């Protein structure tokens, strides 16, 4: 049985809707629950899920609640959904929303006239125009939304450059401004390093790795991954680099991302070389090699942080790199103790940059890696749900996030996939990331550890589980607590994503 | 440098949050001045349902 209810002219953000849907789906007797705005795309998804839409009248401005399951509980599910919308059960004590919320941007500015940035997380098809409105009113922008068309991104960034304002994003999940965590970000000390990042979880990893070395970060300016592509031309990377080089409080500058278009890389290198601060370029898996005149070239995230930390502390960079080499030796020893394992590597990731870095490292040690976001096009998985030989999957890609929370918030898909992978007798190692901090799942290790135990019930000790935690002890989820939950489930937990990817590969390589 | 950018980098963020309210709550927990906007999508009409109904009748 199924039931539909339309709430006319009612709007809630997508994360709230998906959280309520998850709560309702978890009710006894409910098969499926969906809360979505009545857009064409959403109605198609509902129709595909088997809901009969012929009797309802709906516009994109209306909210549609759809539930299916046992007839006796459907009414209760609908009223629970409305109750949760009005009063979300996950809101912390004292975290109540304020009663007055301005409906217009001008109204918001009149409430907070000193506002200097707008954080935008509305649906991608609207987000670009909202960003333009904010820029026209003199506000910097953090654009969390994805699915903003490339042409719109270029238009927004050209306007921002003309006005001398920052646009972080689109698809910028993480930013740090004077130590404040914006979006999905960690609580770390402030200090002499600042970061420009065309890589969301890359920024989180470097931020956390610096903190682990006792070095604080003042700013972490996200630009969105497309900024360093030739079409956008690195507008925001260049602008943020320029501002941070001028900033007296910044002692060491770090720029990270996937390898940029050659002309963008050249521009960044030229600008940094003219500056009077030491700088570290961390282009994951990049071709550039060799340090030059105060510019240090790195190809991994932990290496980038280790070099920047050494520079900030006035220590020898060569020594910092040597320490990483000796850490690699200990990983080989650890692999000897827990290996060798036979078969394939399966990586299940929530962080896009971490997934990319894991592929770069595993490819060097194991050979070709299949993925839904592969390093080379011919290694693209036909179906993201079915692994092939060595596979590393990014669960943050569109096919997993349509109508579903991001895997850093909802870890259930990955926990379920552990069991699916365990059923494949060819699998020897499962590798995964756990990203914590503001904006992420409140206790991801618990659900992931349950998945690991279920997988072990299927595969026994055949499969080794390897993970890293991107987070600190001061994060709301507490990295040390997360680690002990995973270790209790028999997971080998490494100090960084790069180390986890190496250990996973050494276990199979022998 | 643009004054608002300078203020952002020197004095920290003061935020108008448009969209996911959790971000505003996280910022307030860090004592960041934040105002949550009650943003609504622009009013548009959809004709998908009438199309769907027509298809069903065929």
Domains along chain A?
Answer: 2-86 (3.30.70), 113-321 (3.40.50.261), 328-509 (3.40.50.261)
Higher pLDDT, A292 or A443: A443
Q: What does the pLDDT average to over A297-307?
A: 97
A119/B46 CB distance under 8 A? no
Q: What does the pLDDT average to over A124-138?
A: 96
Residue closest to A2 by CA, chosen among A31, A23, A26:
A31
DSSP state, residue A162: H
A181/B26 CB distance under 8 A? yes
Nearest-neighbour CA in chain B from A506: distance (Å): 40
Q: Which of A421-425, A460-464, B37-41 bottoms out in mean pLDDT, i.e. has the lowest?
A: B37-41
Distance, in Å, from the CA atom of A242 to the CA atom of A272, rounded to the nearest integer, reads: 8
Per-range mean pLDDT, top range of A17-21, B44-48, B49-53: A17-21
Q: Residue B45: is its pLDDT beyond 80?
A: no
Q: What does the pLDDT average to over A199-217?
A: 97
Q: For chain B, give the mean pLDDT.
A: 85
B48/A40 CB distance under 8 A? yes
Q: Residue A148: is its pLDDT beyond 60?
A: yes
Residue that is written with structure tokens 């990983």 in the block: A331
What percent of chain A clears pLDDT 70, i.e. is strictly above it? 98
Q: Residue A125's pLDDT is what?
A: 87
A59/B15 CB distance under 8 A? no
CB contacts < 8 A (A, B): 180
**How sure is the predictor about B57, in pLDDT bands with cuts at 50, 70 and 90?**
low
B35/A108 CB distance under 8 A? yes
Q: Residue A118's pLDDT is what?
A: 98
- Segments forming the whole domain that contains residue B9: 3-57
A144/B19 CB distance under 8 A? yes
What's the pTM value of the predicted model, to 2 decimals? 0.90
What percent of chain A clears pLDDT 90, i.e. is strictly above it? 80
Hey, what are A112's tokens? 């907070």
Distance, in Å, from the CA atom of B13 to the CA atom of A140, rounded to the nearest integer, reads: 10
Partners of residue A139 in chain B, C-beta under 8 Å: 4, 16
Distance, in Å, from the CA atom of A234 to the CA atom of A253, rounded to the nearest integer, reads: 17
Q: Residue A89's pLDDT is what?
A: 76
A61/B53 CB distance under 8 A? no
Partners of residue A92 in chain B, C-beta under 8 Å: 25
Q: Which of residues 428-447 of A touch B (CB under 8 A)?
A: 438-439
Q: Residue A404: is its pLDDT beyond 80?
A: no
Most distant pair of Cα atoms in chain A: their distance: 73
Chain B contact for A114 (CB, 8 A cutoff): yes
The neighbouring-strand residues paired with A416 are: none
Exposure on the CB side of residue A12, measured as CA atoms within 13 A: 23
Distance, in Å, from the CA atom of B8 to the CA atom of B54, rounded to the nearest integer, reads: 54
| Contact present, B17 and A119 (Cβ < 8 Å) | yes
Chain B contact for A183 (CB, 8 A cutoff): yes
A123/B2 CB distance under 8 A? no
Exposure on the CB side of residue A459, measured as CA atoms within 13 A: 26
pLDDT digits (tens, 9 = 90+) for A92-112: 544 455 568 999 999 999 999
Q: Residue B50's pLDDT is what?
A: 61
Q: For chain A, give the mean pLDDT.
A: 93
Q: What does the pLDDT average to over A180-188?
A: 96
**How sure is the predictor about B46, in pLDDT bands with cuts at 50, 70 and 90?**
low
Closest residue to A40, CB basis, from B15, B38, B46: B46
Residue A176, SS3 per DSSP: strand
Q: Residue A235's pLDDT is what?
A: 97
Partners of residue B15 in chain A, C-beta under 8 Å: 112, 115, 117-119, 182
Start-to-end CA span in chain A (Å): 54
What number of other Cβ atoms are within 10 A of residue A231's Cβ? Answer: 11
Indicate the number of domains in chain B.
1
DSSP state, residue B50: H
Residue that is written with structure tokens 């906007």 in the block: B37
Q: Residue B51's pLDDT is what?
A: 66
CA distances from A374 to A200, A257, A368 (A): 18, 16, 10
pLDDT digits (tens, 9 = 90+) for A55-87: 888 988 899 999 999 999 999 999 999 999 988
Distance, in Å, from the CA atom of A300 to the CA atom of A256, rounded to the nearest integer, reads: 9
Higher pLDDT, A61 or A415: A415
Q: What does the pLDDT average to over A421-434?
A: 98
Helix (H) or strand (E) holding A64: strand A63-69
Q: Residue A408: is its pLDDT beyond 70?
A: yes
For A332, residues 6+ apart whose C-beta sits below 8 A from its C-beta are A506
pLDDT digits (tens, 9 = 90+) for A241-254: 999 999 999 999 99
Partners of residue B5 in chain A, C-beta under 8 Å: 116, 140, 164-166, 243
Q: Residue A11's pLDDT is what?
A: 85
ipTM above 0.90, yes or no: no
Beta strands in A317-443 (DSSP E): 344-349, 391-394, 427-435
- Please tell me which residue of chain A has the smallest CA distance to B11: A178
Distance, in Å, from the CA atom of B52 to the CA atom of B37, rounded to the nearest integer, reads: 35
């Amino acid at each position: 049985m199924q039931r539909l209810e339309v709430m006319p002219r009612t709007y809630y953000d997508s994360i709230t809707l998906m959280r309520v849907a998850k709560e309702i789906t978890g009710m006894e007797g409910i098969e499926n629950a969906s809360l979505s705005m009545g857009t064409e795309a959403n109605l198609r998804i509902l129709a595909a899920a088997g809901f009969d839409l012929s009797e309802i009248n709906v516009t994109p401005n209306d909210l549609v609640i759809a539930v299916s399951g046992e007839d006796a509980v459907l009414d209760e599910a609908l009223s629970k959904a409305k109750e949760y919308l009005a009063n979300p059960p996950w809101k912390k004590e004292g975290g109540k929303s304020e009663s007055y919320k301005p409906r217009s941007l001008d109204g918001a500015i009149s409430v907070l006239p000193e506002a200097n940035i707008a954080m935008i997380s509305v649906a991608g098809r609207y987000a670009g125009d909202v960003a333009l409105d904010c820029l026209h009113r003199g506000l910097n922008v953090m654009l969390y939304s994805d699915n903003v068309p490339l042409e719109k991104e270029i238009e927004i960034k050209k306007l921002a450059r003309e006005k001398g304002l920052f646009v972080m994003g689109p698809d910028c999940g993480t930013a740090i401004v004077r130590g404040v965590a914006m979006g999905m970000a960690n609580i770390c000390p402030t200090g002499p390093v600042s970061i420009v990042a065309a890589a969301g979880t890359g920024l989180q990893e470097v931020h956390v790795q610096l903190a682990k070395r006792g070095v604080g970060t003042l700013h972490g300016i996200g630009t969105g991954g497309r900024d360093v592509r030739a079409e956008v031309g690195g507008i925001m990377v260049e602008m943020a680099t320029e501002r941070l080089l001028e900033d007296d409080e910044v002692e060491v500058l770090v720029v990270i991302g996937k390898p940029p278009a050659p002309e963008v890389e050249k521009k960044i290198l030229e600008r940094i070389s003219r500056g009077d601060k030491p700088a570290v370029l961390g282009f994951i898996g990049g071709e550039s090699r060799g340090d030059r005149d105060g510019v240090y070239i790195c190809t991994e995230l932990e290496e980038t942080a280790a070099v920047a930390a050494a520079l900030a502390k006035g220590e020898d960079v060569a020594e910092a790199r040597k320490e990483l080499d000796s850490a690699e030796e200990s990983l080989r020893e650890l692999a000897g103790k827990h290996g060798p394992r036979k078969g394939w590597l399966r990586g299940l990731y929530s962080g896009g940059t971490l997934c990319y870095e894991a592929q770069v490292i595993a490819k060097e040690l194991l050979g070709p890696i299949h993925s839904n976001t592969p390093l080379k096009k011919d290694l693209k998985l036909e179906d993201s749900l079915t692994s092939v030989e060595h596979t590393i999957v990014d669960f943050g890609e569109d096919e997993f996030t349509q109508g579903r929370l991001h895997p850093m918030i909802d870890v259930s898909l990955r926990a379920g996939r552990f069991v699916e992978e365990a059923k494949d007798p060819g699998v020897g190692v499962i590798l995964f990331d756990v990203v914590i901090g503001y904006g992420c799942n409140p206790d991801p290790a618990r659900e992931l550890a349950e998945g690991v135990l279920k997988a072990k019930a299927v595969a026994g000790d055949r499969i080794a589980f390897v993970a890293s935690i991107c987070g600190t002890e001061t994060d709301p989820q507490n990295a040390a607590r997360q680690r002990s939950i995973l270790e209790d489930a028999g997971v080998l937990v490494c100090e960084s994503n790069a180390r986890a990817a190496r250990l996973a590969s050494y276990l199979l390589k022998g | 440098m643009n004054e608002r950018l300078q203020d952002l980098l020197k004095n920290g963020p003061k935020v108008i949050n448009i969209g996911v309210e959790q971000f505003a709550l996280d910022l307030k927990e860090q004592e960041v001045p934040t105002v949550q906007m009650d943003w609504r999508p622009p009013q548009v009409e959809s004709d998908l349902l009438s199309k769907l109904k027509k298809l069903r009748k065929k």
